[in-house]
Amino acid sequence: MIEPWKPALELVQSFLIWAYPYTKSLHIISVIAWMAALFYLPRLFVYHAEQSDPGDALDDVFQVMERRLLKAIMTPAMVATWLFGLALVATPAIVDWSSVWPYTKLGGILGLTCFHHWLAMRRRDFADGANAVTGRTYRIMNEVPTVLLIIIVFSVVVRF
């Protein structure tokens, strides 16, 4: 049976193998940017919740900082992390799907993605003057990316 798609698939696989070190480098860079933002935005929320009231001058400053961090750094870094990560997954012989580690890493990544969206919703609450979360809660939530980062790094490095 003739498989007309096979040459195209082989070409894509060859490209992914050739691009692997560049893809991996760009993935690591985007992960670092995303993680930095995931650590910083909840800290901004702590100060925002504790140091300002809706509509005051400090509230406006925090809103600008939070919006720019989310829109200009955090979300593009998340998208890049996902795109380069999916390219790595598509690269032949990189992921051993019979192991546990790809699934624990995926769970951690999904957790970070959900946390990212939770933070985006909280930013919207601040913008609407409707934040109901305390600074203490934001401090506690600031530990979420640390726990997920530990799971992800151990999954990839130890490969259990």
Residues of the chain with pLDDT under 50: none
Tell me what pLDDT residue 104 has: 97
Tell me what pLDDT residue 109 has: 98
Q: What are the pLDDT digits (tens) for 47-84?
A: 999 999 999 999 999 999 999 999 999 999 999 999 99
In-domain check, residue 26? yes
Which domain, by its residues, includes 54?
A: 18-158
In-domain check, residue 1? no
Tell me what pLDDT residue 4 has: 80
Torsion angles phi and psi, residue 140, rounded to 5: -65, -45
- pTM of the full structure: 0.92
In-domain check, residue 11? no
* CA proximity to 47, closest of 56, 59, 34: 59
**How much of the chain, in percent, has pLDDT values that exceed 70?**
99
Tokens in use for 103? 């699934």
d(CA 84, CA 76): 12
Q: What type of residue sits at position 128?
A: D
Which residue is it, tokens 């894509």?
Answer: 12
For residue 88, what are the CA distances in angstroms to 19, 27, 140? Answer: 9, 9, 33
In-domain check, residue 13? no
Torsion angles phi and psi, residue 98, rounded to 5: -85, -10
In-domain check, residue 9? no
Tell me what pLDDT residue 106 has: 97
Number of domain units in the chain: 1
Tell me what pLDDT residue 7 has: 82
Tell me what pLDDT residue 1 has: 63
Between CA 42 and CA 104, with CA 148 as vertex, the angle to 5 degrees is 155
In-domain check, residue 27? yes
d(CA 129, CA 5): 54
